[in-house]
A and B are shown apart, each in its own frame.
Chain A
Amino acid sequence: MLEYRVLPAGDTALVVEFGDRVDPRLSAAVLSLAQSLEGEHIAGIVETIPTFRSLMVLYEPLVLPAALLIEQIDTQIQKLNSHEIISRVWHLPVCYDSRFAIDLQDVAQRTSLSVQQVVERHSECLYHVYMLGFLPGQAYMGEVASELALDRRATPRTSIPAGSLAIAGRMSCVFPLETPCGWHIIGRCPVPLWDDITATALLAPADKVRFVPVSVREYESVAARAAEGVLKIEPVSDFVEAVA
């Protein structure tokens, strides 16, 4: 039986919290509930926001009072049963060259690893996309190898370029847009992760991502195709996971 609690976030949002930690099982419950509420097309639900461990449900209180929405949520959670989540596996090129990886040397020092080892450990992992947030299309991917997990830098940077790949605690993120950032930049990905014309994010929660190290030349060739709008990137395969 799933444990959860429903917390108010004012009078137009509820938080359905399945736990307080980063855990693929909690994430799966969050995504399943989001999917099942969506499938019900309940009048008065404005939108839902899945996160690591909770689902925010935004609602219009004069159409759907909170008490009725909570009943709906309870009903949907009772009905959540074991099923398969089909997600996609992506291989994303990343250039770990020092011209992009402004903190790689520093990360190596902090972790007592060589630059080569940091790149190997970071790129040998198959990451799980827990959620999107912070910026349009920005995926939180985890978890990085424990020896690579680092807290924020003492001084955040006022601006980092779009595509920057960071270690952010136990997560890794590619920032789809230029942004202020307090995390450790260890590379850059030339594949656009967000298209505001079509409102499409390349990655979705539950997807799997592997970072493939590429040379500066390969980076530039992919970036040039992206700039021309002729870059086609497809998932390498589907990923099927059973959810209890």
Chain B
Amino acid sequence: MKPTLRIIFPGLFTTIQDAGRYGFQRLGVSLGGALDPVALRAANLLAGNPAYAGAIEALYVGPTFAVEADDARLAFAGADAAIELLASADAVHGERIAPMQSVRVRRGQVVRIGSLKKGASLYIAVEGGFDIEPVLGSVSTDCRGKMGGWKGRTLAANDLLPLCRALATERDECRIEGLDLSPPQRFRTVLGPQNDYFSEAVIEGFFASEYTVSAESNRMGLRLDGPPLQHRHGFNIVSDAIATGSIQVPGGGQPIVLLADHQTTGGYPKIATVISADLPAMGRLPIGAKIRFAPTTVDEAARARRALNATLESLPGKLVRIAPPAAITTQLVECNLISGVHDAAA
């Protein structure tokens, strides 16, 4: 029988994502891809996969699924979440699993993930990956384009996600220590491309204001509540192309940061664009998060990008082997103690 993950409860907006679908935007095909590629890469590293293999992306509320393979190695990276390993679908309580680690799950066991905390996105990678045919070079789900990923849509109850491996490899489990996924104090932006649609005073106000991530946010864009940004001369432009991270300002003046699933083209002015090094952090902002923006230059953005790449390349050095099961309880206690001491000192 084909090894699968059987979805019992899909969560709020759960899709398969990889690094995205490059090269087809001229045809109207959105980029897509993981909102937080850093966490995607961490999950794949823990699972022993290539850096940007397709994984499950859960937003806000995680899925519940059963493992229908002899056994499988799963890895979780991203937001904090109550991840439980249950003996069966009927079990009420199970073993708690911390995010940022891998775990081996046997046939029939159920993984239940609750609401995500301190972050919007969680990645669930499975060793060997999902046996899904790429569309235009990517297994990312494009819900608007109805293609890629799992049937071009969000996961639903009773979906059977086919796995490439029927068995986990024999090795110890790992966790990642010291990867900081907290958002920056200020998201750095390059002005433009349509900053000339706003007065100097409005632009100053934009950088001086605090914005709150609205509940209407989705994979297309992060809608922000805050002081409205008034346009100097109208808010309709002749449609031009959209870059991921561009902050578009529709007629109402509430900005929208365009994320992975944004349309390829659009007709609202874009006041500034979040730099590529800060985009993964943008993709993990939960609803209600308070954020600020800062201006920067393209040269500074390139330095930030180099720093992000260095962080990504240092990830394997942050892998810590988890001692065999008998010692796990002690390890967790130690972890709690260490973070307790750290908090007390702060």
How many pairs, one residue from A and one from B, have CB atoms within 8 Å of each other in the complex?
146
Given A132-B28, A134-B28, check contact A11 B275 (CB 8 Å): yes
Q: Which residues of B contact A53 (CB under 8 A)?
A: 238, 240
CB distance from B182 to the nearest CB of A (A): 22
**Interface residue count on the A side (C-beta < 8 Å):** 46
Residue B135 at the A interface, CB < 8 A?
yes
Given A8-B190, A8-B192, A199-B136, check contact A136 B306 (CB 8 Å): no
Considering the chains assembled together, what is the distance between the CA atoms of A102 and B265 in angstroms? 26
Give the nearest-CB partner of B137 in chain A: A199
Given A47-B25, A48-B26, A62-B306, check contact A9 B243 (CB 8 Å): yes
Considering the chains assembled together, what is the distance between the CA atoms of A12 and B28 in angstroms? 19
A137 adjacent to B27 (CB under 8 Å) = yes
Residue A80 at the B interface, CB < 8 A?
no
Q: Which of A10, A17, A133, A196 contacts B145 (CB 8 A)?
A: A196
CB distance from B193 to the nearest CB of A (A): 4
Q: Which of A20, A58, A66, A134 contacts B243 (CB 8 A)?
A: A58
Of the listed stretches B51-59, B157-165, B297-305, chain A binds B297-305
B274 adjacent to A137 (CB under 8 Å) = no
Given A135-B145, A201-B27, check contact A49 B241 (CB 8 Å): yes
Considering the chains assembled together, what is the distance between the CA atoms of A112 and B193 in angstroms? 40
Considering the chains assembled together, what is the distance between the CA atoms of A154 and B145 in angstroms? 25
Please tell me the size bucket of the interface on B.
Answer: 35 or more
Residue A211 at the B interface, CB < 8 A?
no
Q: Which of A11, A12, A51, A140 contacts B241 (CB 8 A)?
A: A51
List which A105-160 residues lie within 8 A (CB) of chain B: 131-138, 140
Given A47-B22, A136-B147, check contact A8 B273 (CB 8 Å): yes
Q: Which residues of A contact B27 (CB under 8 A)?
A: 132, 136-137, 194, 199, 201
Residue B23 at the A interface, CB < 8 A?
yes
Q: Which residues of B contact A199 (CB under 8 A)?
A: 24, 27, 29, 136
Given A8-B298, A10-B273, A51-B240, check contact A136 B305 (CB 8 Å): no
CB distance from B188 to the nearest CB of A (A): 9
Residue B144 at the A interface, CB < 8 A?
yes
Mark contacts of B257-274 with chain A using CB atoms, 8 A cut-off: 1 yes-contact digit, 0 otherwise: 000000111000010011
Q: Which of A52, A61, A178 contacts B302 (CB 8 A)?
A: A61
Given A47-B22, A49-B264, check contact A20 B238 (CB 8 Å): yes
Q: Which residues of B contact A55 (CB under 8 A)?
A: 241
Give the nearest-CB partner of A197 in chain B: B135
Give the nearest-CB partner of B275 in chain A: A11
A49 adjacent to B25 (CB under 8 Å) = yes
Considering the chains assembled together, what is the distance between the CA atoms of A13 and B136 in angstroms? 22
Q: Which residues of B contact A231 (CB under 8 A)?
A: none
B241 adjacent to A22 (CB under 8 Å) = no
CB distance from A199 to the nearest CB of B (A): 5
Considering the chains assembled together, what is the distance between the CA atoms of A201 and B145 in angstroms? 13
Q: Which residues of B contact A58 (CB under 8 A)?
A: 25, 243
B275 adjacent to A10 (CB under 8 Å) = yes
Q: Which residues of B contact A49 (CB under 8 A)?
A: 25-26, 241, 264-265
Q: Which residues of A contact B62 (CB under 8 A)?
A: none
Q: Which of B28, B136, B243, B305 contacts A135 (CB 8 A)?
A: B28
Q: Which residues of A contact B244 (CB under 8 A)?
A: 10
Residue A7 at the B interface, CB < 8 A?
yes
Residue B321 at the A interface, CB < 8 A?
no
List which A185-211 residues lie within 8 A (CB) of chain B: 194, 196-197, 199, 201
Q: Which residues of A contact B263 (CB under 8 A)?
A: 133-134
B145 adjacent to A9 (CB under 8 Å) = no
Considering the chains assembled together, what is the distance between the CA atoms of A132 and B301 in angstroms? 30
A54 adjacent to B301 (CB under 8 Å) = no
Residue A50 at the B interface, CB < 8 A?
yes
Contact sample, A vs B, 13 pairs, CB 8 Å cutoff: A8-B190, A9-B190, A10-B273, A15-B240, A53-B238, A56-B240, A61-B298, A66-B298, A132-B264, A136-B28, A178-B146, A201-B27, A201-B28
Please report A residues at the B interface, Cβ cutoff 8 Å: 7-13, 15, 17, 20-22, 34, 46-56, 58, 61-62, 65-66, 131-138, 140, 177-179, 194, 196-197, 199, 201
Which 10 pairs, one residue from A and one from B, show the smallest C-beta to C-beta distance?
A: A133-B265, A10-B273, A11-B301, A56-B241, A9-B243, A49-B241, A7-B193, A13-B243, A196-B147, A132-B28
**Besides the known contacts A7-B192, A61-B305, A178-B146, 20 further A-B residue pairs in the complex with CB atoms under 8 A apart:** A8-B193, A8-B273, A9-B190, A9-B270, A10-B274, A10-B276, A11-B190, A15-B240, A47-B26, A49-B241, A49-B265, A51-B238, A51-B241, A54-B240, A56-B243, A61-B302, A66-B298, A132-B28, A132-B264, A199-B24
